[in-house]
Every structure is written in structure tokens, then in C-alpha cells.
A = this chain, B = another copy of it.
Amino acid sequence: MSTLDIATAPLDLPAVRSQVDVVLSAFLEGKARAAAADGHPAVVTEFLGTFLFSGGKRLRPLLCVIGWHAAGGHGTPAPTLRVAASLELFHAFALVHDDLMDDSATRRGRPTVHRAFAERHRAGRSAAAADRLGSNAALLIGDVALVWSDELLHTAGLRAGRLADVLRVVDAMRTEVMYGQCLDLLATGRPTASTAHALAIVRCKTAKYTVERPLHIGAAMAGAGPAFRARLSEYALPLGDAFQLRDDLLGVYGDPAVTGKPRLDDLRDGKHTTLVALALERADRAQRRALHALLGNPDLDERGADRIRAVFAETGAHATVERLIQSRCEQAEEALDRESFPPAALGALRQLARGAAARTA
């Protein structure tokens, strides 16, 4: 293939996804062999492997590779793939800790790490001791995923100056997502009518972390500077907002058989989402009373959830969030219309923008 062919051929996203998985699986196999040789427990690589390969869209690695192409990179060289894979390992860290904080029962249709670990180690332990062991193991397994995402990055094979550029963006991303989690945590259990605050959490926790920074990291590998990265943000931030807003809806209306996640948890936790903020803002007295009584109630059942969903419908909050998703996706596509990224990257970016609006999992 000539350079011209490579630049104009559409990016084969399923192929990139497989290549990322090959990197992840080879890395974990190496870690499992090292653990066996050093007398370290095998459970860590086993649980991480099960978690990583039981699902996941690999959205961040894909965006990283797309960012690389957008900034003029060609093909999928090994260092690009390793950096992309490191983002998935970082995401595994974030999800394992997130599930622990929320005490979620399932993820990707399977028991979460802390629950599965507790189950495995029940024999000969009290229920409380097994649960505590499960939580502590998930804490450590998450920590390991973070430490290893670093190692994948450090050993990606980037030349030295390039590595420093990439690390700068990675470090910024990590700080942002941590603060996003903190904002989310502090707001959980006490949702308010502030749509602005809900959208600020979305921006910090998801839009930058899920879409903008992976694109930036890929672009940084191809040598792009801040001005080019700002162009990517025009697309990335509205799309990232849409992504989280869809996630908020799936957390309330999604089919657990498709999402792999329970759909009462967000309501039981009293998450301060845009959906909730809009409903509280527009609720009459009776509706507000219902929301305050039911949101954040750990014993909420499907009947109570249906009452909440009725308020989301009556106030138009649900419909407004759908419209917000639509308009954010359009905004992302319009940003692309103004751009002249290489066709391979442009096609992939459009595909993701359309997928984000309609996804069910």
C-alpha cells in the first residue's frame, strides 16, 4: 500500500480493537508468567484478565488511534497501540474502583471484581470478613491496573521527547478524571436542581476523560501541539457530553441484559445527574416531594423507580436530555464539517458521533 492509500483508506475500527486486545492480552500474560516465577499470587492477573476480556467498547484506545491518524500518523505502529492499550488498563482501574465505591453488583453482565472476589473466598470466613476481603482485593487490583497502565505507557517504545509530550497530556487527563470522580462523590446523595453543576460533573468526569484526552494523546504521539489539540476539542467535548448524558439515561432506562449493569443503582445512590437536576428544577410540589423521598433511598424497588420515571416524563426532563444528546452530537458533527482532518480519521470520528447518540449499551 502506498502512503496515499493508507491515508485515505477508512480506519478499520474493529481491527484496531483486536490489535489493542492482543497488546493487552500479551502484556497480562507476561505479568502472569512473572508472578508465577516470583511466587506472587495468580489472582491479580486472573481477575484483571477476566474483567478486561468480558466486554468493553475500547472507546478510549480507539479514540487514541483516531487522534494519531487525525494528526497525520500512519498505520498502527506498536508504540501507538501500546499507548492506546494503556488507556484501557487505566479505565479498568477507574471502573474497578468506581464499582467498589458504588458497591455495584454487576458490570459487563458479570459480578463486579469486589463481589466476585468475596464469593470466591467465602469458605471458612464470616460473611463480613469475606466482603471486606473482596473490597480490599478490588482496591488493590484497581491499584495494580493503574500501576500497570503506567508501565505499558513507559515501555511503549516512544522516543524520549515524544514520551514526555504524551505523559504531560496523560497526567492532565488523570487529574481531571480524579476530580470528576470527587465532584460526583460529593454531589451523590444530595442532588439539586442545578443543571449547571450536573453538566460540570459530566464535563470533568467523562467528556474530557472519555473523548477529548484520548484524542489528544493520540495526536501528541504524532507530534501535534496545543493548537491542533484545541481543534480536536471542538468535536470531543460536545460528543463526550452526549456520551455521559446517554449513560445517565441508560442508568435509569437501559436494559440490564444489554448494558450489563443494574439500573436502580444511580437512583438508589441519588446521583446528581442532569436528568435529575432538570426534573427537580421543573417539578411541582408533589413531584418534588416524590423525588426527594425516593432518590437516594437504598431500598428503592422497580415500583419506586417507575414513580421517578413518571416524574422524569411529566416534567419533560427525559425528553430534554434526549434533545441535549441530539444537539451535542450535531455540534460534534458540525465541528467536523469545519475541519480538514485526513479522511481515515474523519470517517471514524463521524461514525463515533452517530453511534454515541443511539447506543443502547
Instruction: Kindly report how many copies of this chain are found in the complex they form together.
Output: 2
Find out whether the CB atom of B35 lies under 8 angstroms from the CB atom of A137: no
A125–chain B nearest beta-carbon distance, Å: 7
A185 touches B97 (CB 8 A): no
Indicate whether A234 reaches chain B with its CB closer than 8 angstroms.
no
CB distance from A205 to the nearest CB of B (A): 11
Interface mask (A158-174 → B, CB under 8 Å = 1, otherwise 0): 00110110011001001
A147 B40 Cβ-Cβ under 8 A: no
Whether B183 pairs with A143 at a CB distance below 8 angstroms is no
Residue A41 interfacial (CB < 8 Å): yes
If the complex has contacts A100-B139, A143-B146, A175-B151, are A40 and B160 also in contact, measured as CB distance less than 8 A? no
A179's partner among B40, B137, B200 (CB-CB below 8 A) is B40
Residues of B within 8 A of A144 (CB): 175, 178
Residues 27-65 of A, flagged 1 when their CB comes within 8 A of B and 0 if not, give 000010001001111011000000000000000000000
Q: Is A189 an interface residue (CB 8 A)?
A: yes
From A185, which residue of chain B is reached at the shortest CB distance? B136
Given contacts A148-B175, A151-B175, A189-B125, contact A182 B137 (CB under 8 A): yes
CB distance from A65 to the nearest CB of B (A): 23
Report the bound CA distance from A182 to B142 in whole Å.
12
**Size of the chain A interface, CB-CB below 8 angstroms:** 50
**Smallest CB–CB gap between A171 and chain B, Å?**
4
Given contacts A150-B171, A160-B164, A175-B147, contact A182 B97 (CB under 8 A): no
Decide: B125 and A154 in contact? CB cutoff 8 A: no
**Are B148 and A146 closer than 8 Å at their CB atoms?**
no
The verdict on A133 contacting chain B, using a C-beta distance below 8 Å, is: yes
Given contacts A143-B97, A160-B160, are A154 and B179 in contact (CB under 8 A)? Answer: no
User: Is B171 a contact of A140 with CB atoms below 8 Å?
Assistant: no
**Inter-chain contacts of A183 with B (CB < 8 A):** 40-41
Q: Contact at A179–B44, with CB atoms within 8 Å?
A: yes
User: Which B residues are CB-close (under 8 A) to A100?
Assistant: 139
User: Smallest Cβ distance from A95 to chain B, in angstroms?
Assistant: 13
With A and B bound together, what is the CA distance between A163 and B159 in angstroms? Answer: 12
The minimal Cβ–Cβ distance linking A44 to chain B, given in whole angstroms, is 6
Q: A139 CA to B146 CA in the complex, in Å?
A: 13
Q: List B contacts of A179 (CB < 8 A).
A: 35, 38, 40-41, 44
One of B41, B97, B148 near A186 (C-beta < 8 A): B41
Known A-B contacts A183-B40, A189-B129; A178 and B137 likewise in contact (beta carbons under 8 Å): no
Provide the residues of chain B in CB contact with A135, threshold 8 Å: 101
Q: Is A181 at the interface (CB under 8 A from chain B)?
A: yes
Closest beta carbon of chain B to A150's beta carbon, Å? 6
6 A-B pairs within 8 Å (CB atoms) are namely A38-B179, A43-B186, A44-B179, A140-B182, A144-B175, A146-B147
